[in-house]
Structure 1
Amino acid sequence: MNSKLIRNVWAVGRNYADHAAEMKVEVPKSPMIFLKAGTSVETGSKIKLPTWSKDVHHELEIAYWIDDKLEFTYLTLALDLTARDAQAEAKAKGQPWTMAKSFTGSCPLGSWISLQDAGPLDELTFELKKNQQVVQIGSAKEMIFKPEILLQFIKKHFPVSGSDILLTGTPAGVGPLQSGDLLQATLQSGNRKLLACHWDVE
């Protein structure tokens, strides 16, 4: 498994009711799928903000690795970085969100953990701190569409392949990033810490 070989990044919008509420949009009745380029993945500890956007937001999510059998084998934490100003402009014009969601470096990833080591889905919780302050707290059991449901949905409708990954949505608390910010993320199974990530924003 090599993050540099990722082909497609499948992502879902509004998969947590509290995030839909903070964005003042309705909860979807079926998964709202969009794509980020596989080449938007960043595995380092630095986030380089695009010079053309003044309003890039963090969105912390659980991400799954899809193997050659089109099954989940690993998971990690991901940031679905979003240029909110570009997204708002695209929405107003009825255009795709590609500029807002798929810019260079818009998908930072943590280290991969096997599903066996991760434990039951409903025990997974995750947290994001910005400059030592907690800004996002999520629990997998609060997903509207569970990961396996999302996987079946994208397999039914899209050309999913091995080495794709799936981002499962973000909880409430998304917010803007500025150069100099420090992001720290953790993933836990009950009281057991599975993963810790950090990113320096440039």
Structure 2
Amino acid sequence: MPTITFNGAPHPINTIYCIGRSYVEHIHELGNAMPDEPLVFLKPNSSIVMGDTLTLPKFSDNIHHETELVLLMGEGRQIAGVAVGLDLTARDVQSVCKEKGLPWLKAKGFKNACWLGEFKPFKNKTYELFLQVNDEIRQHDTTDKMMYAFDELVAYLDELYGLTAGDVIMTGTPKGVDRLVAGDRLVVRLDDDVYHIAVQ
């Protein structure tokens, strides 16, 4: 089971819950319908990758980045930690899945599809998300534009699925998603936490 370090101690990661279509401007840029409730899908925890290198899969030539705020659940259904993450999506595969009414697992759950930064203690505040690809700023937004508050997402997921300590919630991406290719160099930022990533 993948393990992250939080507050100086190892924390195994259990289920990865992902929220789709949680920013209105991102819904519009992809031409999707507005959801009546949170759109939830899962990533296997084997999709987690950390560090300064990101390897793209060979089965797709249209991998999109989605910069997201990531919540780490603690004991008692409390949000313990927060980090920045990249939800990688094989957009070409996802489009076929949508057309045929198939699950999104291949499009969203492949190896290295869930890059995570370092977790720090959670504060119930507005966070700033930033992604630069080479010299181009692709995503720069704040979490106050989310359709759902953090506690709303936790309550919704817990009622349906039963959250446990070690679960992770990827809270969705703002506008600006686009393609990544090998050779890209990323700058990912959550507030003052900055990461440099090489894509291969």
Q: What is the CA-CA distance between 1:160 and the residue it aligns to?
A: 2.2
1:130 alignment partner in structure 2: 133
CA contact 1:14–1:32 (8 Å) conserved in 2: yes
The reply to whether residue 74 of structure 1 matches residue 81 of structure 2 is: yes
1:198 alignment partner in structure 2: 196
The reply to whether residue 147 of structure 1 matches residue 145 of structure 2 is: no
Kindly provide the amino acid, as one letter, of the partner of residue 12 in structure 1. Answer: I
What secondary structure is seen at the aligned counterpart in 2 of 1:144?
A: coil
What secondary structure is seen at the aligned counterpart in 2 of 1:44?
A: coil
What secondary structure is seen at the aligned counterpart in 2 of 1:85?
A: helix
CA RMSD, aligned part only?
A: 1.4
What secondary structure is seen at the aligned counterpart in 2 of 1:26?
A: coil
Percent of aligned positions with the same letter in both sequences? 30
How many Å separate the matches in 2 of 1:127 and 1:70? Answer: 28
How many Å separate the matches in 1 of 2:180 and 2:88? Answer: 9
2:7 alignment partner in structure 1: none
How many residue pairs get matched? 193
How many Å separate the matches in 2 of 1:61 and 1:158? Answer: 21
How many Å separate the matches in 1 of 2:46 and 2:77? Answer: 20
* TM-score normalised by L of structure 1: 0.92
Map 1:43-192 to 2 at 5 A: 43-115=50-122, 119-122=123-126, 124-188=127-191
Write out per-residue CA displacement over residues 21-67 of structure 1, whole angstroms, 9 at most, x where no aligned residue.
Answer: 00001221211111011111111211111011110000000001001
Structure 1 alignment gaps of length 5 or more: none
Kindly provide the amino acid, as one letter, of the partner of residue 198 in structure 2. Answer: D
Write out per-residue CA displacement over residues 131-165 of structure 1, whole angstroms, 9 at most, x where no aligned residue.
Answer: 02100012111000111101100000013221110
What secondary structure is seen at the aligned counterpart in 1 of 2:76?
A: coil
Structure 2 alignment gaps of length 5 or more: 5-10
Kindly provide the amino acid, as one letter, of the partner of residue 42 in structure 1. Answer: V
Write out per-residue CA displacement over residues 99-139 of structure 1, whole angstroms, 9 at most, x where no aligned residue.
Answer: 00000010000011112xxx4423x1111000021000121
CA contact 1:66–1:164 (8 Å) conserved in 2: yes
Kindly provide the amino acid, as one letter, of the partner of residue 198 in structure 1. Answer: H
How many Å separate the matches in 2 of 1:107 and 1:121? Answer: 24
The reply to whether residue 38 of structure 1 matches residue 45 of structure 2 is: yes
How many Å separate the matches in 2 of 1:136 and 1:180? Answer: 19
How many Å separate the matches in 2 of 1:2 and 1:38? Answer: 10
CA contact 1:138–1:170 (8 Å) conserved in 2: no
Query: Which runs of structure 1 show a deviation greater than 4 angstroms over 4 or more consecutive aligned residues?
Result: none
The reply to whether residue 18 of structure 1 matches residue 16 of structure 2 is: no
How many Å separate the matches in 1 of 2:71 and 2:165? Answer: 12
